[in-house]
Amino acid sequence: MNKHAAAKTEIIVGILIASLAAAGLFVFVSYDISGSLGSGGPAEPVYDMQKYRNIDPELITHAEKLPAVPAGFKESRAIYTAPDGKVYICGDKAVRVFSSDLKFIEQINLDDTPTTLAVSQQGRIYICMGSYISVYDPQTQSSVDWPQYSDKSVLTSIDVYKEHVLAADAGSKAVLHYNKDGSFVRTIGEKNKELGISGFVIPSPYFDLAVAGDGLLRVVNPGRHRIEAYTLDGYLEFFWGEYSSGVTGFCGCCNPANFAILPDNSFVTMEKGIMRAKVYDPDGVFVGAVAGPGQFYDGYPGLESLAENQSVVFDIAAAADGRILILDTVNNIIRVFKEIER
């Protein structure tokens, strides 16, 4: 991906980090809030991960259903649940399709390396190829590539809603709005004082989006540690989320890294750094934790040290029956979490 130099502001922030198991202590961290994608400098605070390894069991809402399902890739990138319930995963130079119960169906080979994908009601696959979008039609088994928006484009997320295609461009720091025929409509979320939009802060290329059941586009503003809601014509309606190392908030340089929308319009978020998956209600109120670092590390040697080095980011999706599907991009497996009946 392209890297662009930009002036940046380093802020030393003193924050009180409360351990779930012990008394709190002050930890000073330094990170870049300029939103200069890949511009160098410290990108993540360094935490004593042992303090966050285990989440209070009373807050855990889900349990992992074993065994995990192999994704079938050497390097898996993204997971998406289609309107018909099928599960799509991209990685290497291919897309693999699974049934709703995660039985492998087929593999679609690609000419380039995909970074993320979405599937329409008609079954067309919209694939981000790093800097451009390719649309695969399963009926004709052919692809059409759309023109690249900008030489700065780094596409990190995509969704399809009715006749709209929305792509998150971390390089351009904007959401790209297209019609399904590939015609460009507008950008969404760029800084605009008149509209009260402060702009996206994107210190690293994790910039996720999805259209919710209410028809509003939800976009992570990772450097501001929140999820923002926009109309499809570009108006900011509201946002939720806060910076906190506590379990209810988002910490690090840029979280949540990924999210998905559950059938009841709740949100499930995935963080990097302190690896946590959490559920929030439709208004952004914390409900509980799907899993914390302890659950993710259990049974997977080597994952903990990678996570501590900030080099692990999992993708996440929601199945129609409420199961949460987490793509473990280190072990290249689909990990399934089901809600605990209490």
Domain chopping of the chain, boundaries? 52-339
Distances (CA, A) of 52 to 163, 172, 248, 254: 43, 34, 13, 18
Q: What is the pLDDT of residues 289-315, one digit of tens each?
A: 999 998 998 888 778 777 766 668 999
Rounded CA gap, 208 and 262, in Å? Answer: 15
More confident site: 17 or 90: 90
Reply yes or no on whether the pLDDT at 5 is more than 50. no
- The helix (H) or strand (E) run that includes residue 167 is strand 164-169
Residues 52-339: name the CATH superfamily.
TolB, C-terminal domain (2.120.10.30)
What are the phi and psi torsion angles at 123 (to 5°)?
90, 0
**Using an 8 Å Cβ cutoff, are 265 and 278 in contact?**
no
**Omega cis (within 30) before 263:** no
**Using an 8 Å Cβ cutoff, are 231 and 176 in contact?**
no
Rounded CA gap, 116 and 125, in Å? Answer: 10
Q: What is the pLDDT of residues 104-153, one digit of tens each?
A: 999 999 999 999 999 999 999 999 999 999 999 999 999 999 999 999 99
Question: So what's the pLDDT on residue 292?
Answer: 92
Q: What is the pLDDT of residues 210-243, one digit of tens each?
A: 999 999 999 999 999 999 999 999 999 999 999 9
Reply yes or no on whether the pLDDT at 206 is more than 90. yes
- Which residue(s) pair with 165 in the sheet? 160, 178
Nearest one of 329, 335, 336 to 90, comparing CA atoms: 329
> Over 246-282, what HEC string results?
CCCCECCCCCCCEEEECCCCCEEEECCCCCCEEEECC
Q: What is the rounded end-to-end Cα distance, in angstroms, of the chain?
A: 46
